[in-house]
Amino acid sequence: MKKIIFATNNLHKLDELKKIIGNKFEILSLQDIDVHEDIPETGETLAVNAAQKSHFIYDRFHLNCFSDDTGLEVEALDGAPGVYSARYAGEGCSYEDNVNKLLLEMEGKKNRKAAFKTVISLILDGKEYQFEGRVDGSITTEKHGSGGFGYDPVFLPDGFEQTFSEMDPTLKNKISHRGKATAKLVAFLQTL
């Protein structure tokens, strides 16, 4: 089984991605290679941030790796929180803090359209490849469900009546932004 490093310290993302990929590859975390530092994310786009993280690991360890950056883009907020999704309510904030800030910002807004986007940056033998996934939906007026993480309790994907938090994880992983980007990653890896 091929080993590949997922350059993240986010255990929720790691667990979700391992479920999507299944047993096709052995996914190692940063903890597995004894990296405990935070990797900088200073880019203005998801693609730049994803590349920054994968290059950080590859340049130091020369191990094949991939990273992702994900953002929630809300139309009525001019695309915010976008690249700042993880720290929307400030540095060191919780998922709950971010969701509460978003709901406060969305109070009274009729346009609730939003999109979740993920960009995966894969570095294999020094060459970078990128894969993007997107799911369109809307922001609910209150939290629903207890599953998932991040903005899942307030994101209602188009064509569904449940937020990501209310969905069965298998369905969510199939239709989500991360699921779509990961499917492209896996399809690419299987051609090697």
User: Which residues are known to be catalytic?
Assistant: 69
Q: Which of 133, 154, 17 is nearest to 70 (CA)?
A: 133
Which amino acid belongs to residue 23? N
